[in-house]
Structure 1
Amino acid sequence: MPAAVRRDRHIDTAAAESPSPLDVARKGFDHLVTGTEPLSLDCRGLEGLPDRCVALDELLDRLLHGPCPQEVKDYVWCVLVERSRTVGATWALACAGMALPALANVAKRLAARHSAEPYDVHAEVLLGFLTALITVDLSQPHIVVRLKWAAYRRGLAALTAALDAPVPVEISRFAAAPSEPPAGHPDLVLARAVRAGVLTRTEADLIGRTRLEGESVSDWAGEHHLTLASVYKARRRAEQRLVALMRDEDRTAKVRDAAARGSATRRSRSAPSRPDRRALRSSLSVLLMTGCPKASAEPVSSGAGAPP
């Protein structure tokens, strides 16, 4: 297997006896591409690829680091996904293996920024990817990018649900459990805005990728077949609504926190005070309201370009 593929291992295994789902997928992929007859794809006639059958581990290395045009990458992924749908589990595992660098980065990011069990995060990310193999539109470009974001959304949704769950407290303690999760993280702010109907999934994807992930607006616009001016205008309007939502939440949180502190003081002098969870929201507000170029075109429609 090419060294470049082996170097791109970002999966942290907490315990050797309990490998994560992505570790299991990696081992399965390694098995598929070793031996005298590794799982391969016929790449004859494809620009930037050898004129022969190419083992999938070598193909992954060439797609990541070679001079392949985007059209060729999309064609390869179209074939891979179609085989996962028609042939079955072997090619679904092959797809997961081909996407492991992206899936590992998604899982690492989610696990690092949230208090969650890494095993569960990896499981949700992998499940989101495998589920998207069934539904992803193969007629649209950037197939693997859309699969990656489906995996990310699944992982983020699971984390959001976990944070929304009630926090257990000891019966002997008088202080009430916190009435809200640590929801100031930008990812959770976007997820909550979508759930509240303030943003569409497309708008949240736009803000997340161009503001938080560092993707250029031009790349996002090209992927969704939209003009640069319309995307800038859509992002500016969406961010204005998002900032308004965060300000409303801050006002509500202040009232709720004051009431909770007063109640806790009356019940027990030793009750712990709640931490301030508004710092990250304020930082995101500053980020969103700066550096938004003006444009005159129409905004992105609420359904356009939404990943599956």
Structure 2
Amino acid sequence: MDTARDAFGWLVTGPNPMAVDGTRFEGLPRRPVPLDELRDRLMSKQCPRRTRDDVWAHLVLQSRARGGAWTVACVGMALPSLAASARWLGARYRGDRADAHAAVLAGFVQALATVDLADPGIVVRLHFAARRAGQAALEESLDAPPPVDSEFHSTAPRPPYGHPDLVLARAVAEGVLTPTEADLISATRLGDVPLTDWGAKHQSEYWATYKVRRRAEHRLASWLADRVGTADPEDPVAEAALSSISAGEEAAAIDENADTSRAVSGRRRNGRPANPRKSSRLVSKKDPKSGLLGCGETSPAEHEPTSEVPRCA
């Protein structure tokens, strides 16, 4: 993964970075768009789904026709989702983690040559293919006999063999989540990325990021609740994901109610009666910290929810 990231970085470095002609796609600037900027635009929730599919179809066709740098470009464009899966698989892989990462990348590159560009959700299906390749490598490593003179014993992997990343990818494919929302949940709930770091990377304030994740998790929980009744009883991935998200929502609700419910009402603020004469200044349009997000703004570390939900599988 580090090699793929570095190679992609070289493609977008210098006075003439590799770019895509934005005039060919609706929703992109009317100029050459460097690939690193293009990746951020495609991951944005404001990006139309049609634009995302059209750009990915173009990238895949360039990879098939020219290979080389365009294949590296495709890997770099999908690297955030690939890295999340590779990190989870590598942590459970019996052997060198780099082998699990290589399996994910190999599955992605192989899918570039076979994915159907006529169907929507191209990048999601590419992620599925990469994930399945990494999962197969993980199962093979777990089924392999233990080393000679080792105290470890080979056992069958504990079902389910799936992972919540697959649930998130399926939710993106069905329009329940945007790719950005899925990446936010995957990175901060399933991964080790703090909410503040994710928000800083995507130029989003802490509480705005927090609210985006909470709304997305509400939709995801409702969608999962509808699916649990018809799910395979031997595959509790969706149920486990639903349980984790529900636990996270309860913790978030407790934290939010403790911090804001009385302050918004105007009755009490920090245990003291609120001064109605001072309330208008907090939302003044002339104040650089104006708007609801600027009211009572403090450092993210001071109000960050303390109970990040543990990995759900």
TM-score, length basis structure 1: 0.55
Matched residue, 2:232: 239
Structure 1 residue aligned with 2:31, among 49, 52, 55?
A: 52
Counting only pairs closer than 5 Å after superposition, residues 76-155 of structure 1 correspond to structure 2 as 76-155=55-134
Root-mean-square deviation (CA, aligned residues, Å) is 3.5
Q: CA-to-partner distance for each residue in 1:49-85, whole Å, 9 max, x for gaps?
A: 2111111111112112362101100000000000000
3-state secondary structure, aligned to 2:99: helix
| Deviation readout 1:140-194 (Å, 9 max, x if unpaired) | 1111111111111111100101111111342xx9x9x73524x22xxxx244xxx
The answer as to whether partners of 1:48 and 1:66 remain within 8 angstroms in 2 is no
Distance 1:180 1:95, change over 3 A: same
| Alignment pair present for 1:61 and 2:14 | no
Q: Return closer, same or farther for 1:216/1:162 CA change in 2, 3 Å cut-off.
A: closer
For residue 285 of structure 1, report the CA deviation from its aligned partner.
11
Q: Contact 1:121–1:155 at 8 Å: present in 2 too? A: yes
The 8 Å contact of residues 144 and 154 in structure 2, kept in 1 or not, is answered as no
Structure 2 letter corresponding to 1:72:
T
- Measured at CA, do residues 85 and 31 of structure 1 come closer, stay the same or move farther in structure 2, by a change above 3 Å? same
Structure-2 residue corresponding to 1:24: 3
**Structure 2: runs of 5 or more not aligned:** 177-223, 244-313
Q: 1:217 to 1:96 in 2, by over 3 A?
A: closer
5 Å matches for 1:188-199? Answer: 189-191=159-161
Cα distance change on mapping 1:56 and 1:221 into 2, 3 Å: closer
Deviations 1:225-277 (A, max 9, x none): xxxxxx9898645513x26xxxxxxxxxxxxxxxxxxxxxxxxxxxxxxxxxx
Partners of 2:23 and 2:31 within 8 A in 1: yes
Indicate if the aligned counterparts of 2:103 and 2:137 stay in contact, CA closer than 8 A.
yes
Q: What secondary structure is seen at the aligned counterpart in 2 of 1:54?
A: strand
Q: Secondary structure at the match of 2:33?
A: strand
Structure 1 CA distance, aligned partners of 2:228 and 2:144? 31
User: TM-score, normalised to structure 2's length?
Assistant: 0.54
Could you tell me the percent identity over the aligned residues?
Answer: 42
1:163 aligned partner: 142
- Greater relative CO (CA pairs within 8 A, separation 6+): 1
| Structure 1 unaligned blocks of 5 or more | 1-21, 192-203, 224-230, 244-282, 291-308
Of residues 14, 28, 31 in structure 2, which corresponds to 1:35? 14
Partner SS for 2:168: coil
Q: Partner of 1:215: helix, strand, or coil?
A: helix
- Write out the 4+ residue segments of structure 1 that deviate beyond 4 Å after TM superposition: 216-223, 231-238, 283-290
Is the Cα–Cα contact under 8 Å of residues 128 and 166 in structure 2 kept in the other structure?
Answer: no
Letter in 2 for 1:167: P
Q: Does structure 1 retain, via aligned residues, the 8 Å contact 2:107–2:132?
A: yes
In the aligned structure 2, how far is the partner of 1:150 from the partner of 1:140? 15
